[in-house]
Amino acid sequence: MVSLPHHAALVMLGDIRVAISPSTHTYMERKDMIMETIQGNVEPFTNELELLFSLELHYQGPIELAPMGDKVGTLVGGGDGTLTGPRMRGTVRWSNYETTGEDQVCALQVPGVIQTHDGALIQFEGREFAMPLSDGSQQWRVAGVLRFKTDDSRYVWLNEAFALTSGTFDYDAGLARWTAFVPKEVLRLEQLAEGLREAGIRQAFTPDISRLTVRLWREIARGGPVSPQRVEQIASALDLPQQTAHEVLDKMCERDQEGNVVGIAGLSQNQHPHRFTVNGIPPSFLS
């Protein structure tokens, strides 16, 4: 790692400000304290995490990629790499901006871009800490957090996820190996979303879909079936394309034998285990 003059540094980790300032701890005491904190606060929860991917990063030289936020630290290089995981794989370009505190503990800002095997581009940024495995060692231990940004619908679930990272950096070889984990629930939700996409169900409510759905809820709550022609009329009154009405009819609605709408988005006139009555109107069911 690059040595910089000793001074107080303010490093941003998401919304958290971490001050690296002069300390009376010796190097070994400082390292032991940090590792005990990591073990005490992270290891009890590792059974709630799942592997997102493994990264192998190769140092190439002074490659500069823009961070997602403000730049923190001094550019020390960058390179390329590969990414492999159960749900994504691809190649990586990355840079490393570094701030060196006392006791050789380095704060890293690592922006980069993932190009997945199926053509998606995913921007990422890591906020990491690194320390040598022993005094004078060229082997470094690295841990931190990754965040992501992409417009690709197949991977937008990453925008709401933080990945915990753990790995090593071999200074002599210019090689870093990291492993990234996310909470299990993140992958479960993405698996569910993928299943819905494969079934032809829309991934999310657009503003137009939401407006039409609210109007159809009101119609369903009146207790009678809603004809396809009535759905088209409602869409026209809302100044929505007829294609939107047809998508809702085909992919979101419960229909009776005549093709009329009797349920949508959890509200139904068909019998389901949960039901309620409004103003004496025949009961509606929660599907």
pLDDT at residue 4, as a whole number: 38
pLDDT at 265 (0 to 100): 75
Range of the domain at 228: 207-286
Q: Which of 274, 237, 231 shows the shortest CA–CA distance to 255?
A: 231
Which of these three, 192, 217, 238, is where a domain ends? 192
Q: Is position 197 within any domain?
A: no
SS3 98: strand
How distant is the alpha carbon of residue 18 from its chain centre? 23
Look at residue 26 and tell me if it is in a domain.
yes
Domain count, the chain: 2
- 21 domain residue, yes or no: yes
Pair (84, 33) in one structural domain: yes
In a domain, 236, yes or no: yes
Same domain, 80 and 219: no
Please report, in tens digits, the pLDDT of each residue of the chain (287 residues total).
Answer: 543 344 434 444 444 444 444 443 444 454 455 445 444 444 444 457 889 999 999 999 888 998 988 888 899 999 999 999 998 999 999 999 998 877 778 899 999 999 999 999 999 999 999 988 888 788 899 999 999 999 998 898 898 889 999 999 998 899 999 999 998 776 665 665 566 556 555 545 567 777 788 888 888 877 788 888 888 888 888 888 888 888 888 777 888 888 888 887 777 777 766 666 666 655 555 54
* pLDDT score at 205: 59
CATH number of the domain to which 146 belongs: 2.40.160.20
Both 166 and 93 in one domain: the answer is yes
Whether residues 217 and 80 fall in one domain: no
- Kindly state whether residues 38 and 114 are assigned to the same domain: yes
**Looking at the structure, do residues 183 and 52 belong to the same domain, yes or no?**
yes
Residues 127 and 258 occupy one common structural domain:
no
**What integer pLDDT is reported at residue 260 of this predicted model?**
85
| CATH (domain of 239) | 3.30.450.410
Q: Taking the model in full, what pTM does it have?
A: 0.53
Residue 108 sits in the same domain as residue 232 = no
pLDDT at 24: 36
Question: CB count, 10 Å around CB of 249?
Answer: 20
Are 85 and 25 found together in one domain?
Answer: yes
pLDDT for 119: 93
91 shares its domain with 130: yes
Q: Is residue 89 part of a domain?
A: yes
Distance CA 6, CA 202 (A): 54
Task: Please give the single-letter amino acid code of residue 261.
Answer: V
Q: Are the CB atoms for 120 and 152 separated by under 8 Å?
A: yes
How much is the pLDDT for 136?
Answer: 79
